[in-house]
Structure 1
């Protein structure tokens, strides 16, 4: 009893506790397919029984051929062939069932992980490299999905095979069974040490695999810069450094695996020789027949092999739980806050094209405790106004945009939207429905222009798309394309200039017809004339819109109703005189 308590206490501590929690998480998916898995197990056990029956049949066939048994040779041979054919058919069925369940589980977990990544807290998710995310979303999910289907059925079918073989050998010769199990104590003794090492190696392998994918993904995303700065040689060397690290870990793991398997093979070899020697002795003394001797040799090898197969499930379980742990890290991240959702819905019903105000009252924000990005920030932006955020680079303009989008939350103070009836709602993930956003850089997706536009309004007509393109001064170059709005767009807007891609992004934001438009350096690639024309069009679309822009360009400031300066953690409203001074400084 004390021993059992000690085992349970050990399980609840450290590595085994982690594996237990990870296995529980995997089980939540396995139980969704319990009927298919049970059927899969049934077929596996049936195949095992047929294999054992075929082995026993071969004993009687040999005894019949050698004249030591009067059995019907033809009937026994037919039985063995029938068992083999049935096994082939069942294996084909189990393969199809396995493929169906595996792809279902893989897709389900992958979709849930993908959805979780999209709704998880933005700051927490920034800690993961995009390459690492891809590795977990594909490699780890695939490992877990495969194990959910195969591990438990494999454990049961291989255990059934092991105990079935053991029962047959015990029936004919108990001593042979004891000899055949000679490797079991050795495996059990070294299992604890091996498990810890295997888990450590699996974690290292998954991490270096993520490092390789992260490096490749980041390099391909910035291939233009790599070429422009003539960094091909540098990045080629860095790749080889990353590969060398992967190689070192892989070969280290391989060496460990080789040593382990070699040790177990030596143990297995001695057991096999001992079984063979015992069988020869029993045959020599006349206690068994040639058929029984053949059966012993065959089954003793299978017994040792089946036990080794059961033990080999440990590495696959460790690999699966390691991958499960990496996936579970996402589900431990809190979701984005969706504050005052009822108020947001009320405002949505009240707005209907009447516009919304953005109000920041004594807001403070910092990414960490050491540095405050801004404090005591007071900003008011009303419908029909263009409000600019200016200041030195890195002082918090883009951070302010993130706060307005609910990607980050205030440390203190109140950030809210307010409708014309005075109903206000705290800014959070739930208020993004009121915003249209055009970020810095290129945010066009691969597909067609129309598909990009309809992402924000799926039922948009061609006429509405054209109207938005015209407002963004993008229609002229789109109309010159052979397929017009159905023209293909490459990855990250490939095929279009930066200025064209910016205008397409602005058009997409305008098509959304949100009451608040955020432009984060969104006109930086446009010439002054086009930039001013776009801003005029935005404010003259006959839709009550609040427009907030971050900019360094004087041409934008001259069109703004209010200008707020963010500098050294202070946000202040500057008057026309200070705006003119800023324009001169530019």
Structure 2
């Protein structure tokens, strides 16, 4: 768990998935999606590959026109090939031409499928990369107000919808649009009077599409949000499965998940019902119109005003046109879902990083000294604006000095680390490193001068080598083993099945707590930064692991400016200076001996801890 005075404390009651769902549902009417405009982001990504789009577009046009050429071939075959006394050579010619059209159609369809599928995969990959890069640039405060698990769902479920839109839906839409347009032109050439009747039905079809489409957009958005809720809840519960089982809450969590699934089903059912009704209405209007027109055509054949080949070609072409319009009605629903998915991703991309490099960043001095100063700093977390985490706080840590920060929970200790690494900017005052205000410097330059050892060693699902050199990717094995030796991690790393190439599992699950901490320390050693931030790296360890980790920390702290958040006061006795905080202010400052004799807050905290330890040992 994070320290209470860090960002986590700013959220008094975490929003449950039900609350999140309700808030989204309430917000939906205020932000309706009136068009397919959010798909503009997808089109921009598509236009990055004009060559592939040209190939796909050409193949699409050829396949659509080949499809329309088949009815024309039928007309010629019926009128000339089936006539009494027809020339066999003429029959063979028209059938070979018809067969050639089929071959062209097959090849063009194959090329079209490959090209649009490639575009779908490529565009989704590019969007995921854009979103991920943008998310990594956002300040931690954004993720206090937005669930990372829900964001992860957008990166998977929503991009999958976009992939379907680009790789299938757009291709189907364009192909059917071409066939519908070309088919109507061909129908006019075959029988203008019959085709005019078809055109009368078009406005009758468009009006229901518009009415149903507006409702479908809102429901599709809600449906995607519900799916995201399920993904977020699944990740949350499985990530805390030991706690769930320890408290025998499997049934409760199953009930919560069941409720979320049912909400998703209800919203999905509404979306499906709207699409089903819309499809039924469209099909009735389209094919009903065609049936009436075919009736009129049959009368024309009986009267001898239309040839059999013409009416056959008209029937086949009208069927193709009707099918094209019918597919377009279904495609519209898919495009609406794609627009909803794109809008959710666009919301992430539209977020402006609160912490960004100035247009002309001020360079930090070289070589680095490691001095850090807080000057009259006042800070409130964005999610808790009414409560100040720091109030008129001033502290200067000289190069090479070790300063311990102690105090009760909520005193503001972890906030100092957040500001030092410029995850936030204070509302008042200034934080400086080597005399340069952090707001004037590039955040990446600031963080390059800081090494962090968190309270719980955070490891990634990767090999030991990748975790160790996370802060210094160019480190070779000799440097890694040297850091591991200094961090008392060499022995257990050498015993791993594949050495440094051993996969450590999710969050380093294959290692003990002490081993994870020592890897975190070795990682900080490799970074070789002038400023070291220690968020009490031994508070959750057993006595033996604590001794090994403390020895490693002593090595790490040598010749570095060090800020230590101390929960166990026994670990800070040797600090050059101890700063006691309470309510976001410094209330005491001095050495362990001086503060103990002063009889203030530090003496009281020390007395409580040491008395408890003596009682435990006794």
TM-score normalized by the length of structure 2: 0.85
Could you tell me whether the CA contact under 8 Å between 1:377 and 1:572 is conserved in 2? no
Could you tell me whether the CA contact under 8 Å between 1:444 and 1:493 is conserved in 2? yes
Could you tell me whether the CA contact under 8 Å between 2:401 and 2:561 is conserved in 1? yes
Who is 1:171 aligned against? 189
Return the alpha-carbon distance in structure 1 between the equivalents of residues 217 and 132 of structure 2: 26
Could you tell me whether the CA contact under 8 Å between 2:431 and 2:437 is conserved in 1? no
Question: How much has 1:366 moved relative to structure 2?
Answer: 0.6
1:424–1:413 distance in 2 versus 1, CA, 3 Å: closer
1:485–1:303 distance in 2 versus 1, CA, 3 Å: closer
CA RMSD of aligned residues (A): 2.6
Question: How much has 1:279 moved relative to structure 2?
Answer: 2.0
Who is 1:76 aligned against? 94
Q: Which runs of 5+ in 1 are unaligned?
A: 1-12
Report the 3-state secondary structure (helix = DSSP H, G, I; strand = E; otherwise coil) of the residue aligned with 1:481: coil
Could you tell me whether the CA contact under 8 Å between 2:119 and 2:166 is conserved in 1? no
Could you tell me whether the CA contact under 8 Å between 2:378 and 2:390 is conserved in 1? yes
Return the alpha-carbon distance in structure 1 between the equivalents of residues 437 and 180 of structure 2: 69
Who is 1:406 aligned against? 422
Who is 1:350 aligned against? 367
Who is 2:3 aligned against? none
Q: Which runs of 5+ in 2 are unaligned?
A: 1-29, 610-618
Who is 1:366 aligned against? 380
> Which of 453, 461, 478 is matched with 1:446 structurally?
461
> Which of 290, 293, 296 is matched with 1:275 structurally?
293
Could you tell me whether the CA contact under 8 Å between 1:359 and 1:379 is conserved in 2? yes
Who is 1:583 aligned against? 606
Return the alpha-carbon distance in structure 2 between the equivalents of residues 212 and 541 of structure 1: 43
Q: 1:24-75, CA deviations, whole angstroms, 9 ceiling, x for partnerless residues?
A: 4333222212332233122111112111112111122122343169462111
Return the alpha-carbon distance in structure 2 between the equivalents of residues 330 and 111 of structure 1: 12
Question: How much has 1:544 moved relative to structure 2?
Answer: 2.5
Who is 2:57 aligned against? 41
Q: How does 1:471-550 map to 2 (within 5 A)?
A: 471-528=486-543, 531=546, 534-535=549-550, 537-540=552-555, 544-550=559-565
Question: How much has 1:521 moved relative to structure 2?
Answer: 2.9
Q: How does 1:49-88 map to 2 (within 5 A)?
A: 49-67=65-83, 70=86, 72-88=90-106
Q: 1:449-470, CA deviations, whole angstroms, 9 ceiling, x for partnerless residues?
A: 1121121112223232222223
1:165–1:18 distance in 2 versus 1, CA, 3 Å: closer
Who is 2:612 aligned against? none
Could you tell me whether the CA contact under 8 Å between 1:343 and 1:424 is conserved in 2? no
Who is 2:304 aligned against? 286
Question: How much has 1:238 moved relative to structure 2?
Answer: 1.6
Comparing 197-206 with 274-283, greater Cα deviation is found at: 274-283
Question: How much has 1:209 moved relative to structure 2?
Answer: 0.8
Return the alpha-carbon distance in structure 2 between the equivalents of residues 378 and 529 of structure 1: 37
Q: How does 1:308-457 map to 2 (within 5 A)?
A: 308-339=326-357, 345-347=363-365, 349-351=366-368, 355-367=369-381, 368-418=384-434, 425-426=438-439, 429-430=443-444, 431-457=446-472
Return the alpha-carbon distance in structure 2 between the equivalents of residues 346 and 156 of structure 1: 55
Could you tell me whether the CA contact under 8 Å between 1:453 and 1:507 is conserved in 2? yes
1:190–1:230 distance in 2 versus 1, CA, 3 Å: same
Question: How much has 1:341 moved relative to structure 2?
Answer: 8.7
Could you tell me whether the CA contact under 8 Å between 1:387 and 1:548 is conserved in 2? yes
Who is 2:615 aligned against? none
Report the 3-state secondary structure (helix = DSSP H, G, I; strand = E; otherwise coil) of the residue aligned with 2:47: helix
> Which of 253, 257, 273 is matched with 1:239 structurally?
257
Q: 1:458-495, CA deviations, whole angstroms, 9 ceiling, x for partnerless residues?
A: 22232322222233222233233343333331111111
1:342–1:304 distance in 2 versus 1, CA, 3 Å: closer
Could you tell me whether the CA contact under 8 Å between 2:371 and 2:398 is conserved in 1? yes
TM-score normalized by the length of structure 1: 0.90
> Which of 563, 566, 580 is matched with 1:551 structurally?
566
Who is 2:162 aligned against? 144
